[in-house]
Amino acid sequence: MRPAASNLGDEVVLEAQALQQLLEVLSGRGYQVVGPTLRQGSLVYDRLSSLDDLPRGWGDQQEGGFFRLRPLNEPALFGYGVGQKSWKEFLYPPRRRLWPARQEAHGLQILPPGEDAVKFAFIGVHPCDLHAIAVQDKVFLEGPYLDLHYQARRQSAFILAVNCGHACGTGFCVSMGTGPRASSGFDLALTEILAEARHYLVVTVGSEKGRQVISQLPHRRAQAQELEAAAKVVAQAAGQMGRSLDTTEIKALLYRNYDNPRWDQVAARCLTCGNCTLVCPTCFCHTVEDTSGLTGEQAERWRRWDVCYTVDFSYLHGGSIRATPRSRYRQWLTHKLATWIDQFGVSGCVGCGRCITWCPVAIDITAEVRAIREGERSGARGQGPGARGQGAGISKGTDKSN
Amino acid sequence: MCSQLTDPMLPTPYQVLKRVRETKDTFTLTLAPVKGGQGFPFAPGQFNMLYIFGVGEVPISISGDPDRPEKLVHTVRAVGAVSRAICGLKKGDTLGVRGPYGVPWPVKAAPGYDVLVIAGGLGLAPVRPAVYHLLARRPEYGNLELIYGARTPEDLVYRRELSLWRGRFDFRVHVTVDAARNGWRGNVGVVPNLIARARFDPEQTMALVCGPGVMMRFTVQELVNRGLKMENIYVSLERNMKCGLGLCGHCQLGPFFVCKDGPVFPYDRVRDWFLMREV
């Protein structure tokens, strides 16, 4: 294949083996290349040094509280859904030193943190996770204050998305409008096709960065039948989707139901372990930790992911605001699906299903919402903030008057 | 969205100029930047994050005069590890300051109005800058009334200032305590009971309310009973905060982050969430 000129939005074909060159081109451009790889029976995102690091021939089986790798009968490179981890650990690391400080003779000295020059290329970002990155962009880049560290990593990142060829067991991206096809937010997006002894990738060029990279690889314009094959792969995934979440007026539904008895029912199962918040690709809550050295002359401030399921999370002198598991599960679910919309203009849920897979007791967010909706129909409706009328004043969550 | 070049999580070193004991566990600190300079302007009701070396950081309302921002004043009660450490600072000690954060009291929108400032306990600290602002522009406002309550006479803060204010003919100050021993000659009872004594035109009155949740709930109820519009009643809320920037999630109240959407809210905007338990 001879390199052909490509433009934004073009769809081109790469042979599967050309991915190796793609990885090399990316590292040649100074990217730290990270992507899916196998570790201890699970699927993680980590550094890729060659194509062989990808889980070739492996798929996954996911159910509520269940994740197993399973061998496929084909050498697919992207035959699995989303793993436990998400890309947020690179853009928004679980632990990060904010700054070091020194106690000196003339008092406290706070030093600016060092530069963070790392530039990531993400290989194999599923459409739900692309949306999750867009959601975190709104949180970290569009509020009154920016997270400069996130901004630096985000702006320099290269994203190679992968359209889903099969539905993951717990996902419901079709309901959330986030998959199984990547529509925007990538530099390159590929659909992997294994058919009639051919193994190739139909690649959509999504940005100038993507165009430059593809121009260094042997590729050609995709033909009608290849595009058709790619569309079929994605349609097949959409058709397999086992779960759904009815999002009709979901914000109003949840605002009306803060006192729905279902919260007690789910609280009786919830262990408040917080797994769902750690695997969630949009959860952004964090806390800070202050440490000091043994001599008392050095101190550091660290930021780490926090979990809204702990009693400590809402602690104020005298006690915690959310003292019961009921209120903490309710906080998480209503934040994801309702208050998030008021705060950031989008849902905090992208339908990736991780919270279902990695919940040790298999609590299913789609089932909980369904139960609340059905419970309300049968009269178990509560006295939430939206219960009387339209919930006066609560729709202006981001209005900063004064 | 504003562009910013520096990391908002980086505190600036400040030095303690003065430390005054208010009650057995509450202190007022006057601070100035270690490097000199003017400090920063702030609006009444805003707060700072105060950092103690190696111990931690807490949100504390600014309680000084917004017309004299060169002196940064904070009143702190020793209730946890960080606030205890802040209260233990001596003249010349340093701490980190970042801010100011949050939506202020709407004093700039209040000219022509009667203003009721209603505080319980340490709730007087976050409204004191509003009082300074109002008194400095006294002719612009109608009646000014302060209603302030604490648990016992020993728990009253800013006592010297309260008696100065009581001496003014253009500012009515009502003080009450929940319980007192012999020798207390003032009011005994809860804050909402004193609202009946305040003079105001309910149609043209703004109330600034800050105190414990229970006190605010009953105060607001009483104000509404007396004809105040809920949108003219402002409350200042308190939550756990780690960043002050709207990013850490700790201060969430329904669709709000108290740090950036508050801490001061018009009551009609937060009522449903404020009255609900455990949100």
Decide if B164 touches A, using CB distance below 8 A.
Answer: no
pLDDT for residue B246: 95
Domain that holds residue B83: 12-101
Whether residue B241 is contained in a domain is answered as: no
Domain end: B101, B136, B163, which one? B101
CB-CB under 8 Å, A285 with B13: no
B93 and B141 co-located in one domain = no
Decide if B229 touches A, using CB distance below 8 A.
Answer: no
pLDDT for residue A391: 40
**Minimal CA–CA distance to B239: which of B247, B228, B249?**
B249
Whether the complex's predicted ipTM is more than 0.90 is answered with: yes
Tens-digit pLDDT string for chain A (402 aa) = 555 557 888 899 999 999 999 999 999 999 999 999 999 989 999 999 999 999 999 999 999 999 999 999 999 999 999 999 999 999 999 999 999 999 988 889 999 887 778 999 999 999 999 999 999 999 999 999 999 999 999 999 999 999 999 888 999 999 999 989 999 999 999 999 998 789 999 999 999 999 999 999 999 999 999 999 999 999 998 888 889 999 999 999 999 999 999 999 999 999 999 999 999 999 999 999 999 999 989 999 999 999 999 999 999 988 999 999 999 999 999 999 999 999 999 999 999 999 999 999 999 999 999 999 999 888 755 556 655 444 433 443 333 333
- Judge contact between A348 and A258, C-beta under 8 A: no
pLDDT for residue A402: 34
Q: At what angle do helices A325-334 and A365-377 cross, to 10 degrees?
A: 100
Report percent pLDDT > 90 for chain B: 94
Q: Hey, what amino acid is at A255?
A: Y
- How much is the average pLDDT of B212-241? 97
Contacting residues of B for A327, CB less than 8 Å apart: 277-279
CB-CB under 8 Å, A140 with B4: no
pLDDT for residue A385: 67
Tell me the two tokens of residue B224.
Answer: 């509404």
Mean pLDDT of all residues belonging to chain B:
95
- Judge contact between B91 and B158, C-beta under 8 A: no
- Judge contact between A117 and A373, C-beta under 8 A: no
B224 and B120 co-located in one domain = yes
**Is pLDDT above 90 for B1?**
no
Domain end: B54, B86, B101, which one? B101
Nearest chain A alpha carbon to B106: A402
Q: What is the CATH number of the domain that holds B19?
A: 2.40.30.10
**Which pLDDT tens digit goes with each residue over B32-60?**
999 988 889 999 999 999 999 999 999 99
pLDDT for residue B173: 97
| DSSP track, A305-345 | E--TTSSGGGEETTEESS-SHHHHHHHHHHIIIIIHHHHHS
pLDDT band at B70; cut points 50, 70, 90: very high
CB-CB under 8 Å, A324 with B269: no
Phi and psi torsions of B272, nearest 5° = -60, -35
Nearest chain A alpha carbon to B275: A385
B33 and B88 co-located in one domain = yes
pTM of this structure: 0.92
B136 and B85 co-located in one domain = no
Cα separation, A159 vs A122, in Å, equals: 5
Cα separation, B128 vs B200, in Å, equals: 20
- How much is the average pLDDT of B89-109? 96
Cα separation, A240 vs A166, in Å, equals: 7
B114 and B90 co-located in one domain = no
Return the DSSP state at B150: E
Cα separation, A368 vs A243, in Å, equals: 12
- Beta-carbon count within 10 A of A269 CB: 13
Instruction: Indicate the residue of B8, B246, B276 with minimum beta-carbon distance to A385.
Output: B276
Instruction: Indicate the residue of A139, A315, A397 with minimum beta-carbon distance to B261.
Output: A397
Whether residue B272 is contained in a domain is answered as: no
CB-CB under 8 Å, B250 with A287: yes
B97 and B194 co-located in one domain = no
| DSSP track, A85-146 | --THHHHS-SEEEEEEEEEETTEEEEPPPPP----EEEEEE-HHHHHHHHHHHHHHHSSSS-
Domain coordinates in residue numbering, chain A: 11-240, 250-377
Whether residue B120 is contained in a domain is answered as: yes
pLDDT for residue A401: 37
pLDDT for residue B2: 47
- The strands making up A188-195's β-sheet, listed across from edge to edge, are A42-47, A32-39, A120-125, A158-162, A188-195, A198-205, A11-15, A220-221
B209 and B171 co-located in one domain = yes
Whether residue B273 is contained in a domain is answered as: no
Nearest chain A alpha carbon to B34: A107
Total domain count, chain B: 2
Nearest-CA distance from B221 to chain A in Å?
18
Whether residue B92 is contained in a domain is answered as: yes
Which residue has 């853009």 as its token pair? A91
**Most B-contacting residue of A297, A321, A340 (CB-CB within 10 A), to test interface:** A321
**Which pLDDT tens digit goes with each residue over B194-214?**
999 999 999 999 999 999 999
Whether residue B228 is contained in a domain is answered as: yes
Query: Going along chain B, which residue ranges are E strands?
Result: 12-21, 26-33, 47-52, 56-61, 72-77, 94-101, 114-120, 144-150, 172-177, 187-188, 205-210, 233-236, 252-253, 256-257, 264-266
B125 and B36 co-located in one domain = no
B174 and B152 co-located in one domain = yes
B198 and B112 co-located in one domain = yes
Whether residue B276 is contained in a domain is answered as: no
B170 and B117 co-located in one domain = yes
Domain end: B218, B236, B254, which one? B236
Cα separation, A291 vs B27, in Å, equals: 26
Whether residue B53 is contained in a domain is answered as: yes
CB-CB under 8 Å, A306 with B250: yes
